[in-house]
Amino acid sequence: MADPITEWHDEHARFGRLLDLLETQAMAFHAGEEPNYDLMRDVIHYLRHFADRFHHPREDVAFARLAERDPGLRLAVSRLLQEHRVITVTGEELLRRLDDIAADVVVERSAVEAAAVIFLVYYRHHLATEETEIVPRAAELLTPDDWAAVTAAVPTGRDPLFGDDVEARYEELSRQLKL
């Protein structure tokens, strides 16, 4: 990691853009319009397969080291670690609902809306907490050795959407984001 704090901020900003796009589609669904379900599924798929596999595990290691350096952060870190699990579960639930729609399974509108809102609220709150409470403290307290341990524990994977080579699955999502 060249500058882990900058990378952390940049990934959070990209995740925020994806959540904005997902929210726009969820609002269309709520208004009775036909959202782009494939786009919604791609947002969730990306967040599940990139963020949950690389970003959150790196944070978990950084959080543990941060809690060692500042025991006063242990409660906040514990809550954030739990939120990583909640985000995973709610993302899976929303993706299941969207997959059912794609397979022409009748799904209750309220169930889809609830799954989307829970996912969005948790994810946005989580990002905001990290940005205001954790990232600034990590910038102050974590050493180059700590960041090296983070990188060694969970190497950064290739980013299939925001990287140099956008995967075919994410081409429409990339266009929507105007990357």
Q: What is the CATH number of the domain that holds 68?
A: 1.20.120.520
pLDDT at 19: 98
State residue 17's pLDDT score: 97
Domain extent at residue 104: 4-177
Asked if residues 94 and 116 have their Cβ atoms less than 8 Å apart, the reply is: yes
Judged against a pLDDT cut of 60, whether residue 96 lies above it is answered with yes
pLDDT confidence band for 158 (50 / 70 / 90) = confident
pLDDT number for residue 5:
94
Structural contact between residues 138 and 70, judged by C-beta atoms closer than 8 angstroms: no
pLDDT for the residue numbered 33: 93
pLDDT > 90 fraction of the chain, expressed in percent and rounded: 88
Whether the CB-CB separation of 176 and 21 falls below 8 Å is answered with yes
Per-residue pLDDT of 22-58, as tens digits, reads 999 999 999 999 999 999 999 999 999 898 889 999 9
Please name the residues in contact with 12: beta carbons below 8 A apart, sequence gap of 6 or more: 127, 130, 131, 135
The C-alpha atoms of residue 31 and residue 111 are separated, in whole angstroms, by 15
Contacts of 76 (CB under 8 A, 6+ apart): 129, 133, 134
DSSP assignments along 50-88, one per residue? IIIIIIHHHHHHHHHHHHHH-GGGHHHHHHHHHHHHHHH
Number of domains composing the chain: 1
pTM of the model: 0.93
Whole-angstrom Cα distance, residue 9 to residue 70?
Answer: 21
The residues, ordered by sequence, that sit 6+ positions from 85 with a Cβ below 8 Å of its Cβ are none
pLDDT of residue 155: 76
Query: What is the pLDDT at residue 82?
Result: 94
Cβ burial of 23 (10 Å; 0-12, 13-18, 19+) is middle
Contact indicator for 105, 37 with CB cutoff of 8 Å? no
Tokens 């403290």 label which residue? 137
- CA dist 95 and 41 (Å) reads 6
Q: pLDDT class for 59, splitting at 50, 70, 90?
A: very high
